[in-house]
Structure 1
């Protein structure tokens, strides 16, 4: 049997399956022809799910082993981006309306934090996997107990040996004909969650591209639109969102399958799982490769960001101006009213006439604010409005990101290349 592992005639097995309409038995028949001395014992005591389910568990484990370094690669690239722009002020948004300032790097850390959660979830899901092992038709190991003449210790030892040979530390003690389909629920749940994370990241990139504050990579020969030559559509991010949306929907499929497993098993899970499990891992792989490619080439436009800040910062600086006036001997309530009136006038210029925000100029021209005019520019310096954002980025990278990346040393660093 060992001598014929690598010369199986898969074409013949496919033809046999058309006749028997049974995938495992087709392979048993073809393999038996290669190993005539072993023909009588091939598959003895086993069931199709011994082959299929144990194989699926190996594939799930190996799938995680392929995805985790790619996820770490995205984290690695995004960490470098966050560190590079940790001190660059930018408008923060709540309700998609301008709010207090943050920094470009701090926003990237919001993305990073969720990717770290996904890394932990994928790693846990992989490490939680158990082998189905040698359990027989309904999970009772009855056939193997008969094979070993009632010696339960040998049945247990066989189970442990096969489990170890497959690279697992432990197998399920309890199962039906299949391993519990809750395993699929848990396995795909973490991938669907990853899909939500990456969708959020790329949605943010698309919104920021609309504001012209940053862009995903765009080659010199790339065409953004067949009709509008000037366009630079964020096609990579759009592709990621599209595939991630599909990935997120697959979670419901596994829940339906787990819920409808009758007794020890029913076969309406089989065709479904062959699609769902494969598509989930392939979708996750696709979005991670594309996300890394995006993170390797994000372009930031500081001047556009600065312009947007100038449009909004005068309103945000009102409290700073009031505090400064009070320190200079002014009355807080009087100052508040002065600022309120000037803000309304400046707001009308912006909203009704499409002009720039001129609140600062109105403050400069007002006799009331003469005491603070010498240091008004200091009060309006954007870097003084970002709080501890730069320090938070540094702390986050050092305490939470780099220790995770250390686990993938030697597995990350290669660029992600997209063919199309």
Structure 2
């Protein structure tokens, strides 16, 4: 069947995710991995005299020649996709065909192939995360000293810096970067243990040949470059899928936080940040003036979808009765690739946003001038208490003046708080008006936000450099 846009196809087929990630999770890509596993199985069996070298070479010669149409014709009759691929492969291999899948059960092939895909896909995600982190580190360093208002409860709070706010997102993503590496390191295949994990079929096959099923498994897995679980049922433990989808959901959560904040800050009421907007880009079909944060909204939308996928994997792991039930198979066909494709798209868009981030410096200064004086009341309160005033009484006086100033700001007037405080006799009894103005002018400050921002940027660069160094080829 030809799939066109005249029938339903997944948006991940063409709209979301990179070509590389789609290729990895394609059916052709999966079947090539199956064939790679069959070749490794046959090669190990040839080493112990079960099959011939000529049969292995015949299989290897046709390893990449997947015939999708022929396999679908066979599957229509057999109703079993892996057995259909066995038959299609065997038709291409007159010498090696008769020994394909010798001693194996379906999941000896499929689960090892899936583990290889999971590991490669996590590597792609790790690289995407590295690109986002590198872009964030550059922005953090550039804006470490840029003062802005911080907001708690969506209300003005105290000043911070733009670099420090960006550090909040980067710190979460750095945790994700490390978590992806840890999960990827733990990826293991099922190995070759047969129908219920006992290796009984391989034991019968190897009888009298001086090699154990475990030793044969080790040879096969060495060819695949993949460690195996020491104990499995018919499948590898589905807890591994849960762990993989959980780390992807964690990335999605980190990106959602960044994108949601950017959507708020891009609104004209804040106006401090904005995602890139193309010269010919259209924000709304009805309102030509709109500059909607569509990339950030896409990130949030895809992140919500990813957030629900670990529950599917949890159910697959928890509800697989005894040695295996097949009720995980259908949902894994969509949950695993769609999680990776969604995160792939999320990180790609986030990298583009960070690199092209538009800064509304005038809006930052305006918001700081409007709301910054309210934050300056905290050091004023402390100075009043040190000068001998009653803290609770001064808190009430400052609050009364702040509420009056707030009402003026809401009417569109300049913030009159400094003038109100400097004219309040209860306050000037302890501090001269000029001292009140000085304290308010100096404000609450941004504390050690610049230093912490730069430290995190250095930590990110060191983490990225360490991975690059460890993965670079070494001379001999």
TM-score by length of 1: 0.90
Residue 174 (str. 1) matches residue 234 (str. 2): no
Preserved CA contact (<8 Å) 1:322 1:332: no
| Contact 1:198–1:240, Cα closer than 8 Å, also in 2 | yes
Q: RMSD of the TM alignment (CA)?
A: 2.3
Indicate yes or no: 2:350 matched with 1:294.
no
CA 43–310 in structure 1, closer or farther in 2 if over 3 Å, else same? same
- Structure 1 residues 104 and 297 mapped into 2: Cα distance closer, same or farther (>3 Å)? same
State whether structure 2 residue 103 is matched by structure 1 residue 42.
no
CA contact (8 A) 2:423 2:433 kept: no
SS in 2 for 1:228: coil
Note if 1:404 corresponds to 2:463. Answer: yes
Offset, 1:98: 1.6
User: Normalised by the size of structure 2, how large is the TM-score?
Assistant: 0.80
Separation of aligned partners in 2, 1:172 and 1:208: 48
Q: Which runs of structure 2 are paired with 1:262-411 in the superposition (5 Å)?
A: 262-323=321-382, 331=389, 339-351=398-410, 353-364=411-422, 369=428, 371-373=432-434, 376-377=437-438, 379-381=440-442, 385-398=445-458, 400-409=459-468
Q: Per-residue deviation at 1:223? A: 1.6
Looking at structure 2, the residues matched to 116 and 129 of structure 1 have their Cα atoms a distance apart, in angstroms, of 20
Compute the displacement of 1:354 (Å): 4.0
Deviates more, 1:302-311 or 1:4-13: 4-13
> Is this contact kept in 2: 1:325–1:371, CA < 8 A?
no
Aligned to 1:418: none
Aligned counterpart in structure 1 of residue 319 of structure 2, from 251, 260, 266: 260
| 1:51 CA displacement | 1.3
Contact kept in structure 1, 2:418 and 2:440, CA below 8 Å: no
Asked if the contact 2:376–2:442 (Cα under 8 Å) also holds between the matched residues in 1, the reply is no
CA deviation after TM superposition for structure 1 residue 9, in Å: 2.5
Instruction: Name whichever of 362-371 and 143-152 sits farther off.
Output: 362-371
Aligned residue-pair number: 406
Q: Distance in 2 between matches of 1:335 and 1:260?
A: 62
Shift of 1:378: 6.3
Asked if the contact 1:121–1:190 (Cα under 8 Å) also holds between the matched residues in 2, the reply is yes
User: What secondary structure, in the 3-state scheme, does the structure 1 residue paired with 2:100 have?
Assistant: coil
Residue 213 of structure 2 is matched in structure 1 by 155
**Match runs of 1:84-95 below 5 Å:** 84-95=142-153
TM superposition shift of 1:189: 0.7
**What is the aligned counterpart of 1:223 among 274, 278, 282?**
282
**Which of 243, 246, 249 is equivalent to 2:302?**
243
- Give 1:335 shift: 5.9
Cα distance between partner residues in 1 of 2:175 and 2:437: 43
Deviation at 1:112, TM superposition (A): 0.5
> Which of 87, 107, 118 does residue 29 from structure 1 map onto?
87
Distance in structure 2 (CA, Å) of the matches to 1:200 and 1:331: 42
